[in-house]
Amino acid sequence: MDLIFNYTPHYFLEGYTESLKVIQQQGKPLLGYFTNRIPVEILHALNVNPIRMLSINSSVQGASERYIQTFACSWLRQIMDIGLNKGYASFDGLIFSAGTCDSLQNLSDIWKKVFPEQWTYNLTFPVLTDTEAAVEYLQNEFDTLIQNISQKFPENPDGFTLSNSIKLFNIKRVNLQKLASLVSERKMRYHEFFKLLLLGDTLPIETVNSYLEKKISQNEITNPPDIPDSPRLLLTGGMFDNYLLFEHVSDFDYLVTDDLSFGTRNFNFTMPQSSFLQGYAQAYLERTPDPTAFDMEKRWKGLENSIHNHQIDGVILLGIKFCDPDTFEFVSIQNNLKDLDIPYLNLETSPDLSNLQQIETRLSAFIEMIS
């Protein structure tokens, strides 16, 4: 189950794709998904394995230029590069999140044309999330999703038992919350924790829960002796998933929490354990959204709570190159941070970490300034 992290110094695409092949041998279809808005509990209840797409480093880059638009972000370009390098060939289908950013929505049609052998589906979320109409709309979307998956992958020997799947994913979230507290208490390095987050999204839930519980019960995590108690940093941003950044830049050890799509926004909640889609849909709409949802009030409320709960001294705003949602929301976040008198640092990178040295220099100067 650690196969995904068997990487060479700069690339671990081979470990990821080999992991997918091992999972595929279990006999369940593999469905890839892009954002944490996808209802993984529903997919699991339909006897498929939901596996989150990663823009992990690939030795093949630039192949996507002939297929993807010039305004697409570097994260999606990397996804397409990996796809063209057969990195996602094990997937039986992909679920796209319509109602998000333009780049991700456009990728759906592109992917369908370039990879016609893979089943694709567009799941649309409402823009406004705090109305009864939004709940009803999303419930209908989930109903339609269930019907389409049931027709495409009809073998489900256990039947549709949503409550059991919700229970399993809630166990995962609680375990990740426990591990996150170790990061905040300086008992675990952030890059080690981030690897566990990726593992949690790319292996079957039963395997993940067993692995995380083992990590906690055996007390395998020791308190790093060389991490000062301050400053305490928070990392916010959108679709960033390359943990090598945090491993290679030692100053990221000052991180005590994050607000990333692949991070705390993926587990800082629990779902009501019920088989009723209405309550399930409502709970999904109440979650802290990604920047692509354009709900800045809810986004800032979640970020402000983290700042207070973790006694944050400084905030790092990590943006993906050419990501418009990141760029749009950072302006508002910066203004709010100024009101709280919280120092912040803007960093921009791409999945290939081409400006790693620059990031290291700027982060070191920022830490020196606020220490």
Identify the band that residue 8 occupies on the pLDDT scale cut at 50, 70 and 90: very low
The pLDDT > 70 percentage for the chain reads 89
**41 within a domain of the structure (yes/no):** yes
- Structural domain of residue 61, as residue ranges? 3-152
**39 within a domain of the structure (yes/no):** yes
| Spatial CA neighbour of 119 closest among 21, 29, 22, 13 | 29
Bridge-based pairing of strands 30-33 and 93-98 is: parallel
The H or E element that residue 207 is part of is helix 205-217
Strand-pair partners of 237: 318
The pTM of the full predicted model, rounded to 2 decimals, is 0.89
Q: Angle, nearest 10°, between helix axes 296-309 and 324-339?
A: 50
Q: How do residues 185-208 score in pLDDT, each as one tens digit? A: 888 889 989 988 888 888 888 888
The pLDDT of residue 32 is 93
The H or E element that residue 176 is part of is helix 162-184
Contact 192, 244 (CB under 8 A): no
Q: How do residues 90-139 score in pLDDT, each as one tens digit? A: 889 999 987 677 788 888 899 999 999 999 999 988 877 788 999 999 99
**351 within a domain of the structure (yes/no):** no
Strand-pair partners of 337: none
**198 within a domain of the structure (yes/no):** no
The pLDDT of residue 156 is 64
| Spatial CA neighbour of 100 closest among 235, 265, 198, 239 | 239
| CA pseudo-torsion sign 129, 134, 135, 141 | negative
Close Cβ partners of 43 (under 8 Å, ≥ 6 residues apart)? 31, 33, 49, 50, 95, 149
**296 within a domain of the structure (yes/no):** no
Q: Is 310 left (phi over 0), alpha (psi -120 to 50) or beta?
A: alpha
| Spatial CA neighbour of 334 closest among 371, 359, 291, 300 | 300
The H or E element that residue 23 is part of is helix 13-24
Chain centroid to Cα 201, Å, comes to 8
For 323-360, b/e burial (b = at least 16 CB within 10 A) is bbbbeebbeebeebbeeeebbbbebbbbbbbeeeeebb
222 class by beta-carbon count within 10 Å (0-12 exposed, 13-18 middle, 19+ buried) = exposed
Work out how many domains the chain is built from and give that number.
Answer: 1
The pLDDT of residue 42 is 94
**98 within a domain of the structure (yes/no):** yes
**177 within a domain of the structure (yes/no):** no
Cα gap 109→94, rounded to integer Å: 12
CATH code at 84? 3.40.50.11890
The pLDDT of residue 15 is 58
> Above 80 in pLDDT, residue 65?
yes
Mean pLDDT of 361-365: 96
The pLDDT of residue 60 is 59
Cα gap 339→203, rounded to integer Å: 41
Half-sphere exposure of 189 (CA within 13 A, CB side): 17
Tokens of 133: 């109409």
**128 within a domain of the structure (yes/no):** yes
